[in-house]
Structure 1
Amino acid sequence: MTFIQTLATLTPIISVLVFLVLMRMPASRAMPISAVLTALAAAFVWQMDTTILGASVVQGMLDAITPLTIIFGAIFLLKTLAASGAMDTIRAGFTNISADARVQVIIICWLFGSFIEGSAGFGTPAAIGAPLLVLLGVPPLAAAVVALIADSTSVSFGAIGLPVLFGMEKGLDVGGTSMAAAEMARLGFEGFPQYAQYIAMHMITIDMVTGTLIPLVLVAVLTGFFGRNKSFAEGLAIWKFAIFAGLAFTVPAFTINYFAGPEFPSVIGSLIGMAIVIPAAKKGFLLPATPWFDFEGVEKKDTAEVAGEVKFSQLAAWTPYLVMAALLVLSRTVAPLKSFLLSFNLSWSNLLGTELKSGFSTLYAPGIFFVTVCVLGFFIFKMKPKAFTGAFTDSCKALIPTIISLGASVPMVKIFLNSGANSAGLEAMPKALAGLMASTAGSVWEWVAPIVGIFGAFLSGSATFSNMMFSSLQFEVATQADLAPALVMALQGIGANAGNMMCVMNVVAAATVVGMAGRESEIIRKTLPVALAYALIAGTIAFFWGGY
């Protein structure tokens, strides 16, 4: 490739870096500009077929429907719970578990946060967990940092498996054909969901080490950076409980992915984890006799003040989430129900006369389940129609920037992937870039692969987007460097998870909800070393393991 052609392949990366990170534009502005520049580079430098380019834009917009419905449903449910007062009940339930801030962080950010990630994703856990910690008396900056770090391992299976099932599938879809078709055939897989489960098994196997350590990292960061004594030892003092809490999630997550696939591990694994860890914490299992709550200049708030007025029982408040989990499990495991739901599909083929296609599973997509439990919540919580319609309206308004961001991001990725249809005789941009990277760093790619994932999530604001943007590159490098493709794809996913701790969109959201807007750089300086360490450990495990 010439220098100009190399620059063209990097256009989506450089443009997002410049506009989103350096110029700090909102994603709703940065992503459309980046998409336009990518299209121009594809058309004039890569000489991409204009019909394929236009069809790629249409394909991307149609592909964006699935994640948009999930995001809308997740926002709608959260706003319904807030408007009804059910979220106050959930918050109050956390206040009576332990007076130890380290325990509160593990339960709220690691376990409850993993549940929110599994059901909603897209940075929601930090936006919910950080304010809960602040209500309990944790300093705002500390709350934002630990909430972001905790939102990592569970991202593999976040938003009902979207990063793997949607992000990687679309990232490997070139011209309507999966780059992994031959690999799937070799392994005997009938479709991408089985291959996604195989990739996810590699991810959760590595996370049996890296993920299990996250609760210990959380408490060490909490006491070491934000405690009165700035002592990491005060956090590490509960290492037994922290490792116990880590395993309480990772072991069920591993088991659930093995039997049911990547849609459920975060949702069900976190519920199992909470069922194990919360009673243990109440009994002081593996905990020191004296609780720790020692922040400089901060006094612990009174429990009654934090809890406020509770309108519902804990069971009632949690019912929408429990029903949501049940609907997801039944729809994915009961064959007749699954077939019935999948029969209501929208599909578009031969877009603009090309071979490109797209589809939307209307009743099978998790978004419809979110809306269903919201309606259920209306009756359970005896909400006033005005409050319910207000939650719906607020959800629609909150979705507008995401519609713009996704409506630009996904087409940009599709242009990137489908650029092999060109008159310049060039390979698709990801394949050309992969060749360059494999020749320079293929021998140490186990360590490079997760860094690429971090970079993608940091730039795009989402592990799903990172996987969409770089899955094809990772697969190509794995093929050219003679590495196990599923293992390299797993490292891409793990890196994207790590990048979730420090991606601009998540950091801005977490900082804003705790009143720390403008201090995003401080947060990133705390989460960046953790993200890099996470990736380094994962790469080292992969280097010596080699995959299944």
Structure 2
Amino acid sequence: IMNTMKQSGAMNTINQMFTTISDDPRVQMVIIGFMFGAFIEGAAGFGTPAALAAPLLISVGFPPLCAAMVALILNSTPVAYGAVGTPTSTAALQVQDQVAKLASGADFEPYKLGLTKWAAIPSAIICPIIIFVAMCMMCKLFGKEKSIAPAFACIPYILVCAVAFDIPFIICAMALGPEFPSLIAGLVGLVASIVLAQKGILVPKNKFEFPDKGEWADYWKSTQAVQDDSGEAAGEPMSPVMAWLPYIIVAAILVLTRIPQTGLKAVMNVAKLPFGISIPTILGVEVNYGFKWAWNPGIIPFVIVALIIIPLHKMSGDKVAAAWKETFSMLAGAAIALVFGIAMVQLFRNSGTPAAEGAEAMYYNKTMLRVMAEGMAGLFGNAYIVVSPLIGVIGAFISGSATVSNTLFSSLQFDTATLLGLPTMLVVAMQICGGAMGNMVCVNNIVSACATCGTVGAEGRLIRSNIVPCLIYAVCTIVILGGLIVTGFNPNPYGMPW
């Protein structure tokens, strides 16, 4: 959808809306860097928010390196529900069989909704903190005064904007599932932050400024042309309503298909023809795999709406071809990592074989995943709650995606929590949060942001600077979810100790 809208000129129209809202970089950072970035994360994910928000920040006067840093730091809280909930849905899918073994015959949906809720609660609490930290870093590293003082003047605006984001974020997570929180909260927060800025409510009276461009350090600047990912304007001027209409249609279809009252959820959420494909066996081995294509948001609504955009925005064949070519190019890297990551996890989970005799007999009928979990449990014990989100961070850093991180480590986190007697839902939620916060130091995203902003060669600086907010995010997550675990809180919907 995003690439099709770039080619149709819709993204250009949307971006132009932001250039006249405020001339204060602190306000621009909240509106463009966080709110617009959160909405794009909810709709597209996979590194697109930084690729869109960073050039837009540069166009309103941000130093290129600052734009890249801010866009990456702020693309953390919404990530767990990026691409209409793909990272959280993936984590839930990875532990579904393990939940079924421990709660035979139980409906999995309450557990999935619980994961969604308990990953959202710490994310919502941390939201204003991470925005403030990003603003402090912007003011200290790139401001004229080289001081964090200007960030404190923006605290009232940050808090109100964060509340406007957090309320729909939590409500969607608790009531609707992982598809909605970032998408809906990003849109609501975007409208609220723009209205506050336009009316001058809670915005700082004194304007924050960057130094003149002649005073910028060389490493702040672009070393090559900045890639503008907003797309070229279409031949005909496009109204804001027409530009936003595809996203409105996406939200409407998701609501209609995800709430049970319409009856569509019961029809589409099945792995049976015509709305799904079921594979009971492979080469005579029982697997019971199923693909619910009609329930996959990548197909309905995203592919459907992408096709609707073509006549809606009167696109030429060349622009359509360019949009789909760019889409397949963007997805190739993530798809390769996901395919082999899923294959590796399946090997971990299904590798148990009987050992004949000797010392190996201790591993009789144990999978690789189980042996790894026992090693983690033995090494860290109850201190594992401190390590859990950091595993998610490392997974995202190495693999390049929160989704791949959750694919690789959700099952491991579940098994380790089970062995230690910890509530699995909270531990897997810490994995989801870890994958999200790891997005700001993810090698793929940093390389992509530097290429987009023309700051190639500054990747090391970005990793070093972004480690600070990443660790702050990790500590806050450990305090919130780890604190609940220490008090003995167990949110499990089945009333079981795990």
- 1:401 is aligned to 2:333: yes
Give runs of aligned pairs for residues 151-190 of structure 1, distance below 5 A.
151-170=75-94, 172=95, 178-181=97-100, 184=103, 190=107
Counterparts of 1:34-183 in structure 2, within 5 Å, are 77-170=1-94, 172=95, 178-181=97-100
* AA aligned opposite 2:282: L
CA distance in 2, matches of 1:149, 1:501: 5
Aligned to 2:209: 293
**Alignment partners' CA distance in 2, 1:345 and 1:337:** 14
Work out whether 1:379 is the aligned partner of 2:379.
Answer: no
Shift of 1:339: 3.3
Letter in 2 for 1:381: H
Kindly provide the CA deviation profile for residues 185-244 of structure 1, in whole angstroms up to 9, marking residues without a partner as x.
6xx9512x3212101211222223212322212211211122222211222320111122
Q: Could you give the per-residue CA deviations for residues 313-351 of structure 1, whole angstroms, max 9, x where no partner exists?
A: 111111111111111111111542223334511222212
User: C-alpha deviations, 1:492-517, integer Å up to 9, x for none?
Assistant: 11111111111111111111111122
State the partner residue of 2:457: 518
Aligned residue number for residue 492 of structure 1 = 431
Structure-1 residue corresponding to 2:415? 476
What does 1:205-224 align with in structure 2 at a 5 Å threshold? 205-224=121-140
Q: Does 2:327 align with 1:411?
A: no
Equivalenced residue count is 459
Determine helix, strand or coil for the equivalent of 1:350: strand
CA contact (8 A) 2:7 2:232 kept: no
Report the 3-state secondary structure (helix = DSSP H, G, I; strand = E; otherwise coil) of the residue aligned with 1:107. helix
Q: Tell whether the 8 Å contact from 1:475 to 1:485 is kept in structure 2 after alignment.
A: yes
Give yes or no for contact 1:216–1:243 (8 Å, CA) kept in 2: no
How far did 1:183 drift?
A: 5.0
Q: 1:340 aligns with which of 267, 271, 281?
A: 267
Alpha-carbon separation, structure 2, partners of 1:198 and 1:157: 14
Higher RCO (CA < 8 A, seq sep 6+) = 1
Question: Partner amino acid for 1:522?
Answer: R
CA contact (8 A) 2:6 2:231 kept: no
- Tell me if structure 2 keeps the 8 A contact 1:214–1:246: no
Q: Which one of the candidate residues 100, 113, 120 is aligned to 1:204? A: 120
Cα distance, 1:297 vs. partner?
Answer: 2.2
C-alpha RMSD over aligned residues: 2.3
Match of 1:544 in 2: 483
Q: Do 2:341 and 2:408's aligned partners in 1 also have CA atoms closer than 8 Å?
A: no
| 8 Å contact kept, 1:114–1:270 | yes
In structure 2, the residue corresponding to 1:122 is in which secondary structure? coil
> Counterparts of 1:479 and 1:398 in 2: how far apart (Å)?
37
Would you say the 8 A contact 2:81–2:182 is kept in 1? yes
| Cα distance per residue 1:425-482 (max 9 Å; x no partner) | 5322222122122122122222111111111111111111111211122112222222
Equivalent residue, structure 2, for 1:61:
none
1:215-254 equivalences in 2 (<5 Å): 215-254=131-170
**1:465 alignment partner, one of 397, 404, 413:** 404
TM-superposed deviation, 1:394: 3.0
Asked if 1 retains the 8 angstrom alpha-carbon contact of 2:100 and 2:106, the reply is no
* 3-state DSSP of counterpart to 1:356: strand
Write the distance in 1 (CA, Å) between the matches of 2:112 and 2:211. Answer: 43
**Percent of residue pairs identical:** 37
1: distance between equivalents of 2:57 and 2:231? 12
Equivalent-residue separation in structure 2 for 1:360 and 1:376 (angstroms): 24
After superposing the two structures, state which structure 1 stretch, 451-460 or 231-240, moved more.
231-240
* Distance in 1 separating the partners of 2:275 and 2:60: 45
Change (3 A) 1:272 1:189: farther
SS of 1:537's partner is: helix
Structure 2 residue runs without a partner (length 5+)? 217-229, 492-498
Answer whether contact 1:204 1:253 (CA < 8 A) is retained: yes
Given that residues 165 and 189 in structure 2 are in contact (C-alpha distance below 8 angstroms), is that contact kept between their aligned partners in structure 1?
yes
1:233-382 matches, within 5 Å, as 233-297=149-213, 311-334=237-260, 335-342=262-269, 343-368=274-299, 369-382=301-314
Give the letter aligned to residue 117 of structure 1. Answer: E
Q: For the structure 1 residues 417 and 230, does the alpha-carbon distance in structure 2 shift closer, same or farther, using more than 3 Å as the test? A: farther
Alpha-carbon contact 1:442-1:477 (below 8 Å) kept: no
Distance 1:151 1:214 in 2: 10
SS in 2 for 1:349: strand
**Partner letter of residue 367 of structure 1?**
G
SS in 2 for 1:190: coil
Paired AA for residue 424 in structure 2: P
Helix, strand or coil at the partner of 1:358: strand
Cα pair 2:91 2:432 within 8 Å, conserved: no
User: CA separation of 1:308/1:291 partners in 2, compared to 1, >3 Å: closer, same or farther?
Assistant: farther
Q: Distance in 1 between matches of 2:117 and 2:106?
A: 14
Which residue in the other structure is 1:51 paired with? none
Q: Which range moved further: 398-407 or 515-524?
A: 398-407
Structure 1 residues 183, 223: CA separation in 2 closer, same or farther (over 3 Å shift)? farther
- When residues 96 and 413 of structure 1 are mapped into structure 2, their CA distance, relative to the original with a 3 A threshold, is same
Q: What amino acid is the match of 1:348?
A: I
